[in-house]
Structure 1
Amino acid sequence: MKPFTFKQFTVYQDRCAMKIGTDGVLLGTWAPLQGTESTILDIGTGTGIIALIIAQRSNAETIDALEIDTDAFEQAVDNFETSPWGDRLFCYHASFQEFTEEIEGKYDFILSNPPFFSENYKTEHQKRNAARFQDSLPFEHLLYGVSKLMTNDGKFAVILPFREEQNFIALAKQYSLYAHKITRVKGNSSSKIKRSMIVFGFHQVAIATNELIIENSRHHYTQEYIDLTKDFYLNM
């Protein structure tokens, strides 16, 4: 498995069950940072791709990441250390439930590309299952932890299958987390909505919604997608 080279950093992924995909890059590049964040957390970092994108985009003093799988954790640490932002990136090896109970600080911005395949179908690859299925981090546990770890004016950004959007928003309200912005992602103009990227906060506001289309045609990207990712992808 070859490393994935971005403009300012390289991500090795041979030891990770879940490889780099569009979802992580989308969330990392789209997340609406204010520029005032000093502490940021990436839950379920995998290769570390989201945390690395955020490190390039922000001046946050502390960017923590969390990964439960040993191999993925070690690879994320390596990817962080070889990046230009190794002094600001730190990875914890623990479950989110353990982390929530033990950590004392709070975060200005939290991100997660969580396990979201809730169907009964499983592969024989145990690590890939853990990375893809909700069993390892149910939405309730994720939202509870976020509500405990986020500052009062903080934000939480997540990417989900579109079919999970309304359920997740309703569940978030039980933890006093309210949707602020929703961007629905389509592969092309004629395809169905595939993903929802949502930003939550503790304050209720009018929800801003929009749509992101990735391609006009195969490998011909929309200007909006190019603008989002051009600072990262080599071919943009």
Structure 2
Amino acid sequence: MSNSWFRFKKFRIEQGGSAMKVGTDGVLLGAWCRIGPEQRRLLDVGTGTGLIALMAAQRLEACGAPDGFRVDALEVDGRSARQAEENVAAGPWPGAVRVIPRSLQDFAREYDGEGYDHIVSNPPYFVDSLRCPDPARSAARHADTLPYPDLAVCVGCLLAPGGIFSVILPPDGMERLTDLAAGEGLYPLRRTAVVPAPGLPVMRVLTEFGTEMAMPCEDTLAVSTADRSGFSEEYRRLTRDFYLKF
């Protein structure tokens, strides 16, 4: 059984009430996505426990966003949204992070504010696969509630001019989303293939999309060392601002 909490260097994540627990995908995306002081408005789609939203707030504060910043965190599952609200309230940035218990589709349909400088998402990605007995966890893992076409269209509507969209998916899912994103005028700027250890097949792909069509910068990140005895130095370097053990 997973722990009911997970301690990071600057905040604690309670996860007993959330459909999705703290995992490598979320930590990777929160640490990898490009954060800069020019980003005043950031949207986390499918925040779950609030992990990526809190990681983004930590990084925005550290880079000194001059006019302050706002992180909006969308979560359609009621239990997870309440858990995220509790984590945000107990963290260091309760005034800068707002949990919104809505689906991305409904939020985008009704949104009339400024566009977001950065949208991040660790979305559901299973398609036509075996269902989990827990309906909330199944919804969090399967793309039924947030199909790739909806994700691409909504991001295209909500992103500010010059904004970026960062996402993590399995390779096949990223291929589909990349094709759909092109239809919304969004193109890969940066791509990192994530492997469990050197020489093993790619398990996830991190991609940053923007409105410029260019040759993306590409690299590979191994989570573990070649002998699987521990985390790789590159993974430690990427996540050391967050993990206590690094």
* Superposed pair shares fold, TM > 0.5: yes
Q: How many residues align?
A: 236
1:61 corresponds to: 69
Residue identity opposite 2:137 in structure 1: R
1:233 corresponds to: 243
1:201 corresponds to: 210
- Structure 1 runs (4+) deviating above 3 angstroms are none
Equivalent position SS for 1:58: helix
CA distance in structure 2 between the aligned counterparts of 1:165 and 1:66, rounded to whole angstroms: 21
Q: Deviation of residue 126 (structure 1)? A: 0.6
What is the CA RMSD across the aligned residues, in angstroms?
1.1
Q: Deviation of residue 41 (structure 1)? A: 0.3
CA distance in structure 1 between the aligned counterparts of 2:45 and 2:20, rounded to whole angstroms: 14
Stretches of structure 1 lacking an aligned partner (at least 5 in a row): none
Q: Deviation of residue 219 (structure 1)? A: 4.6
CA distance in structure 1 between the aligned counterparts of 2:198 and 2:11, rounded to whole angstroms: 31
Q: Deviation of residue 125 (structure 1)? A: 1.1
Q: Deviation of residue 164 (structure 1)? A: 2.0
Equivalent position SS for 1:40: strand
Q: Deviation of residue 220 (structure 1)? A: 1.7
2:91 corresponds to: 83
TM-score (norm 2): 0.93
2:110 corresponds to: 102
Equivalent positions of 1:159-178 (< 5 A) are 159-178=168-187
The answer on whether the counterparts of 2:152 and 2:177 sit within 8 Å (CA) in structure 1 is no
1:124 corresponds to: 133
Stretches of structure 2 lacking an aligned partner (at least 5 in a row): 62-67
The question of 1:6 aligning with 2:8 is answered yes
CA distance in structure 1 between the aligned counterparts of 2:26 and 2:210, rounded to whole angstroms: 21
Q: Deviation of residue 190 (structure 1)? A: 2.5
2:80 corresponds to: 72
Residue identity opposite 1:233 in structure 2: Y
TM-score (norm 1): 0.97
The question of 1:15 aligning with 2:17 is answered yes
Residue identity opposite 2:47 in structure 1: T
Deviates more, 1:180-189 or 1:99-108: 99-108
The answer on whether the counterparts of 2:148 and 2:176 sit within 8 Å (CA) in structure 1 is no
Equivalent position SS for 1:220: coil
